[in-house]
Amino acid sequence: MKRNLLYIGNKLSKKGSTVTSIETLGNFLQTEGFKVTTASSKKNKVFRLLDMVWNTLKCPKKNTVVLIDTYSTQNFYYAVLVAWLCRFRTISYIPILRGGNLPTRLQNSPDKSKALFKGAYINVAPSHYLMEAFKKRGFTNLIHIPNTLQLENYPFLLRKNIQPKLLWVRSFSEIYNPLLALDVLTLLRSKGYDATLTMVGPSKDTTFEQCTTRAKKENLPVTFTGMLTKEAWISLSEAHDIFINTTNFDNTPVSVMEAMALGLPVVSTNVGGLPYLIEETINGLLVPPENAEIFSEAVEQLLINPKDATAMARAAREKVAQFDWHVVKQQWISLLSQ
């Protein structure tokens, strides 16, 4: 029997933020016959929290499951409160572990974490990285269901003549370290490469201004597009040859999965769940965080060895094929129909 779903998360793509799983996964589940209510699309954080609380209070107790996108920073407290209301009302809830820095949250907020995660019907870990981290902290009510995408929406383009045309897609936030992308670009150009960089994503903190100011001051060939629709950045990707992911903390970022699906060779920092997604030299390259020199050398490796780059791109497409919704959906349907 398919249950009614209340999906709690940040549904803010129409308010200047990137599309998150509440929209993608929520829509996927709706197409499979689940009745999905979402909260919240309120831009103001206080109003968003109140909307989440109100929807949790008014949802029917019978035949309802609450899905909660759970992050490691301020939004962690949204999850804590909604989960408490679910337990108070005896409604089953399922945290979906999104935050790449959740292991630190488990350590820093042990009581709140225990109440939130141990009180859950089950916790869904999109990455084996978080599965292992939670198991080490004594949690057993866990299941691995990977992040998902519709592969048919990502046309594979094999780049045989790799050029230093770099693409970065993420929110401008300190934890994603966008300034490292400029460091890499600067090093490549100092070595004689005619490298360019396109940065796609909305501003979340002062790193956007830092990046734009530096690019202008140093006359760097950087294009800042702001936030784009999924279709727009997929189209934009055709003019680029290498995808770079500079984050300091991460889970299993959908943007990297999308780049792999599109045929872009990926160079990423070796943090969080990335080593579980990218196999070094098999379907991408991994480098230490905060190290522009090694990062630029990895990009050079792709430029010098284009056959290796294309082989990695093919392998990456095969890797993300296992995350296609048509493959993953049965796990969700089975879990939510019990």
For the stretch 266-315, pLDDT in tens is 999 999 999 999 999 999 999 999 999 999 999 999 999 999 999 999 99
Fold of the domain built from segment(s) 151-321: Rossmann fold (3.40.50)
Backbone angles phi, psi at 270, to 5 degrees: -95, 70
The reply to whether omega before 40 is within 30° of 0 (cis) is yes
Alpha-carbon dihedral angle through residues 268, 273, 277, 279, given to the nearest 10 degrees: 70
Residue 79's nearest CA partner among 106, 43, 107, 58 is 106
pLDDT attached to residue 111: 97
Instruction: Give the H or E element holding residue 84.
Output: helix 76-88
> 13: pLDDT confidence band, cut at 50, 70 and 90?
confident
The reported pTM is 0.94
pLDDT for the residue 17: 78
The whole-angstrom separation of Cα 56 and Cα 39 is: 9
**Where, residue-wise, is CATH 3.40.50.2000 in the chain?**
4-148+325-336, 151-321
As a whole number, mean pLDDT of residues 152-181 equals 96
Would you say residue 160 has pLDDT above 80?
Answer: yes
| CATH T-level topology, domain 4-148+325-336 | Rossmann fold (3.40.50)
Q: What is the mean pLDDT of residues 106-113?
A: 96
pLDDT tens, residue by residue, 178-228: 999 999 999 999 999 999 999 999 999 999 999 999 999 999 999 999 999
**Amino acid 1: pLDDT:** 61
